[in-house]
Structure 1
Amino acid sequence: MKTKKEATLVHALIPIAVLVASLFIAITKFEADPHIPIIVAIVVAAGIAIFSLGYKWDEIEKGSIETIQMAMQAILILMIIGTVIGVWILSGTVPTMIYYGLKILSPGIFLVATSIICAIVSLATGSSWTTAGTVGIALMGVGQGLGIPMEIVAGAIVSGAYFGDKMSPLSDTTNLAPAMAGTTLFEHIQHMLYTTLPSFIIALILYGIIGIKYSGQVLDTANIDIILNGISSNFNISPLLLLPPVIVIILVVLKIPALPGLIAGTTIGGIFAAIFQKSNIGDIINAAHYGFEIESGVEMVDELLNRGGLDSMMWTVSLILLAMTFGGIMEKTGMLQAIGNNILRFANSTGSLITATILTSIAVNFLAADQYLSIVIPGRMYKDVYDERGIHPKVLSRTLEDAGTLTSALIPWNTCGAFMHSALLVSPFAFAPFAFLNIINPIVAIIYGYTGFSITKVDNNEKKRAVSK
């Protein structure tokens, strides 16, 4: 039998370098999706494992499949979430949340209101991109009319959009992070409140202070009124339509598992669609499978609401499968461990470990230019270390989002930063100083790491039960 070699840092950095280079070229030069570049990196990683480290293909394949299995719950949840989004838009639940959110707009607190509105819309849709590309564009126009610098308005939009994206159970990254860390979706969301809510409150206070300067301006809400009229003319709007998300939140509090809880959310949304929007069974099935579609005559409304459905999640599912395959090869062959060992030489305390996790996520966002990989790669690198040190997996999942999700929008060549630039017409480097949530949240996480606040340890009895299973 061929003797296996221990992976070195050089072995590990070659596929990482190929991944970074192929992603950079594909995304910046050809505006391609990240899937094929990841396949290129998979081929290189497998080649190194076979020809340099002495692994057989069967071993590599087995490692990849084992890693993919760890993400299967997240994949199933994502598929169900696609049905939730489609049915909740059809029922009027998402339009109602957006409608009431836009109603809170006020000249005196425009920046605060902008961030809150974007947070509400993003919570409702699970998408920072959709929020920025629709409501965000309208709010940019309002801010321009008030004479507020565009980079400040864009910062408030990005902060709110990423708060909602980060905290929404409908978001793909919110499902991906706990899958990488080995915790549950609802545990992950609850634990993120410790870092995200204070960070968002600080951000709102800062926007309030900046907004005082513009409080006497006249608010031109023409674009907002267009969206409000487009929604109200196509949906029956009622406070009762807020019940489906409230019921799902109650199920979370009652510790109902994510899959049955979200399936219940889809079912309730279907019932409400029949009652409030007079939808038939065929409409509900189509919305759950293919997503919601409407031609309202208002382009911004169509862009905001034409989404969801089981099929809409397949792009993300395929990306997760490929990223997990790459991560599985790197982990099975010891290449991730080689990188981790070199970093962990400087991470002796819990605070330095969390700092290392955050800096790694930010580095992946810079180098790989992809938000998903900034969660997958550090998640696989540090999972065992958190386990060895008795730190609960939900701390790792929270930290991955505190850095990976939030900093992706601040990097111009990252897919998220590039989208924000194209939607808001402001460079990420320009709005980054005013995207207060995205800057403050990673700092808060590091402070918590060194002070020990909310750093949950794994109960020994819980560990024993997990092993016995």
Structure 2
Amino acid sequence: MQLSRKPGLVLSLFVLLCCALIVTLGVVDVELESGAHFGLGLPAQVPLLFAAVFAAAVGLSWLRCSWVDLERGICNAIQVSIQAILILVLVGCLVGCWIQSGVVATMIYYGLGVMSPRFFYCASLLISVVVALATGCCWTTTSTVGVALIGISAGLGLPLPVTAGFVISGAYFGDKLSPLSDTTNLAPAVSGSNLFDHVGAMMWTTLPTLLITLVISLFMGSSAQGSDGGRILLIQDMMRAEFSISFWAFIPPLIILVMAFFKVPAIPGIVAGILGGIVLSLANGSSAHDTLMVLFSGYEPAHLGQFAAADTPEAISKMTQAFRSIFLAGSPALSVDPEVFSSIGHLLTQLFTRGGMTSMLETICLIAVALSLGGILEVCGFLDVILEALMRHVRSVFGMVASVLASAFLSNVFLSEQYLSIIVPGRMFRRAFEERSWNGRRLAPTMLSRSLEDSGTMTSVLVPWNTCGVYVSSVLGVATLDYLPYCFMNWLNPLVALAMTWAGVAILWQKDASENESAASAPSLTGQVVGTSL
């Protein structure tokens, strides 16, 4: 596409700031001391739509680009997310059938029996790390063990946003370092490095950040106040009344882990997990109609709602008599405070009322609108102009790395897609990394690929309208801005990368000419770690 006019830096900054202002005023709803409200508190889809309209109007009127080109840019941007949309639909089915079949309830049931509030945050972090490393997918991790850990957290009486933050931290660490991850393969492909050099380079910034996050999880866990044993037993009793709890329920998650081990792509792996949940539901006595209907409309608890409505001793007695085999003699359910009984019923009803294709429609709508804005900004060249202006002022290695980190984060904010936050800055900065030299040396491509992941991958889940932020918040049932402060791994990683670069630690350089001649058979340049003052 040829623009009649190329946007200038002032216009590009103006458009991005206006779009940011439109989205901010539309999404936030802050009550001031005077009683007035700042912001409209709208769903993110609405302000994003108006931001896209504004950016398109500038492109049509000032840059003289045609609507056909803008529409093509929108469609191309949305096309990038087609796989993500398919995964969203399938995850909705997965969550629904896993809840109905008792998979999620079983993991929560046994987790409540072995988890200690003191070490729960640390355990959530490490479990998510292991699963994400094995599967190579933070989305799969959050939608499976993440959902279960959120349920356990609710049962232990721990704050859900904190648990969500440590689950996300572990999931993104594992996703970032797993050779099976799409972004881990995408970043070196864009920057010109190779996969295993890229993973090795990321160790320098990612492992220290994980250790810091691990220490924080232990510190926060040491002061955590969990529920008493009676409350946990009551939660387990209520789940047994609603779901079939058995070790057979661990088979569907095991299917996904096995398929991930054999490097089966995400979509077939999720489908296999859905089929496993369907078979388990049928084996538990559910009808074929109910089992398949859950895939579309999600699961609605049958008995938990009755427990939520039992707010008197007489109602509790009636409930416990109806489920005499579940609420055993001596169970705290027989003498529990009606308010506690009802509140736990409400908690579990909210936790298990989810899933199905329809639960993802709002998320898919948000992705489509956000990527439409990103496509318009890309077609009009606003981001390219800003990135080019940044490069003219880069005078040091620290400035180069800081520019990549900032550009990847801004791409997450304005393009709303993790892949684009790697592709767009990677494409822009690759030439600079290949041409710029400091004291006769050039930075290795792994410095670019590492920086793209330190910011592009890690900060995507922190933006409420980014596809990753939308997905994780919808799956875990915790708002993005609520869990953001506790995603220590995600927002500390770029800061650690900046600090190490400023200190001259783990700077990766290309081999010099003599080394390249002696290693001419090597398929790519391998970065060397050199401490240097900037």
Aligned partner of residue 126 in structure 1, secondary structure: helix
Matched, 1:285 2:292: yes
Aligned partner of residue 340 in structure 1, secondary structure: helix
Change (3 A) 1:363 1:337: closer
Which structure has the higher relative contact order (CA within 8 Å, separation 6+)?
Answer: 1
Aligned residues: 422
Q: Is the 1:327–1:380 Cα contact (8 Å) retained in structure 2? A: no
State the shift of 1:331 in Å.
0.8
Q: Is the 2:27–2:40 Cα contact (8 Å) retained in structure 1? A: yes
What one-letter code is carried by the residue in structure 2 that aligns with 1:14? F
In 1, the alpha carbon distance for the partners of 2:187 and 2:460 equals 13
CA deviations on 1:151-190 (whole Å, 9 max, x unpaired) are: xx77843432423664799xxxxx997999799xxx9xx9
In 2, the alpha carbon distance for the partners of 1:41 and 1:234 equals 45
Matched, 1:105 2:111: no
Choose from 404, 412, 425 the match for 1:382.
425
Change (3 A) 1:131 1:381: farther
CA deviations on 1:70-102 (whole Å, 9 max, x unpaired) are: 221221122112111111112211222222332
In 1, the alpha carbon distance for the partners of 2:397 and 2:292 equals 48
State the shift of 1:191 in Å.
6.9
Taking the TM superposition and a 5 Å limit, the aligned residue runs for 1:343-422 are 343-345=390-392, 355-360=402-407, 373=416, 375=418, 378-379=421-422, 381-385=424-428, 396=452, 399-406=455-462
What one-letter code is carried by the residue in structure 1 that aligns with 2:355? G
What one-letter code is carried by the residue in structure 2 that aligns with 1:92? G
Q: Is the 1:12–1:338 Cα contact (8 Å) retained in structure 2? A: yes
State the shift of 1:396 in Å.
3.9
Taking the TM superposition and a 5 Å limit, the aligned residue runs for 1:170-181 are none
Choose from 127, 134, 157 the match for 2:163.
157
What one-letter code is carried by the residue in structure 2 that aligns with 1:126? S
State the shift of 1:268 in Å.
1.6
State the shift of 1:31 in Å.
2.1
Q: Is the 1:23–1:38 Cα contact (8 Å) retained in structure 2? A: yes
State the shift of 1:294 in Å.
1.0
State the shift of 1:285 in Å.
1.4
CA deviations on 1:38-96 (whole Å, 9 max, x unpaired) are: 11111111111111112111111112112221221221122112111111112211222
State the shift of 1:230 in Å.
2.3
In 2, the alpha carbon distance for the partners of 1:43 and 1:234 equals 48
Aligned partner of residue 109 in structure 2, secondary structure: helix
More helix per residue: 1 or 2?
1
Aligned to 1:262: 270
In the alignment, structure 1 segments of 5+ residues that lack a partner are 143-152, 170-174, 463-469
Q: Is the 1:159–1:438 Cα contact (8 Å) retained in structure 2? A: no
Aligned partner of residue 416 in structure 2, secondary structure: helix
CA deviations on 1:97-153 (whole Å, 9 max, x unpaired) are: 222332233265465457679999x976539997898655554x46xxxxxxxxxx7
Percent sequence identity over aligned pairs: 24
Aligned to 1:243: 251
In 1, the alpha carbon distance for the partners of 2:182 and 2:3 equals 36
Choose from 282, 289, 313 the match for 1:274.
282
Change (3 A) 1:89 1:452: farther
Q: Is the 1:9–1:338 Cα contact (8 Å) retained in structure 2? A: yes
Normalised by the length of structure 1, the TM-score is 0.71
In 2, the alpha carbon distance for the partners of 1:347 and 1:253 equals 43
RMSD: 4.9
Q: Is the 1:23–1:34 Cα contact (8 Å) retained in structure 2? A: yes
Change (3 A) 1:314 1:3: closer
CA deviations on 1:178-223 (whole Å, 9 max, x unpaired) are: 999799xxx9xx97996777744543334335655x59x8962454
Aligned partner of residue 256 in structure 1, secondary structure: coil
Q: Is the 1:111–1:207 Cα contact (8 Å) retained in structure 2? A: yes
In the alignment, structure 2 segments of 5+ residues that lack a partner are 29-38, 132-138, 176-180, 190-194, 308-344, 434-444, 511-521, 525-534
Aligned to 1:340: 387
Q: Is the 2:166–2:488 Cα contact (8 Å) retained in structure 1? A: no
Aligned to 2:19: 19
Matched, 1:126 2:143: yes
State the shift of 1:3 in Å.
6.6
State the shift of 1:270 in Å.
0.9
Aligned to 1:442: 494
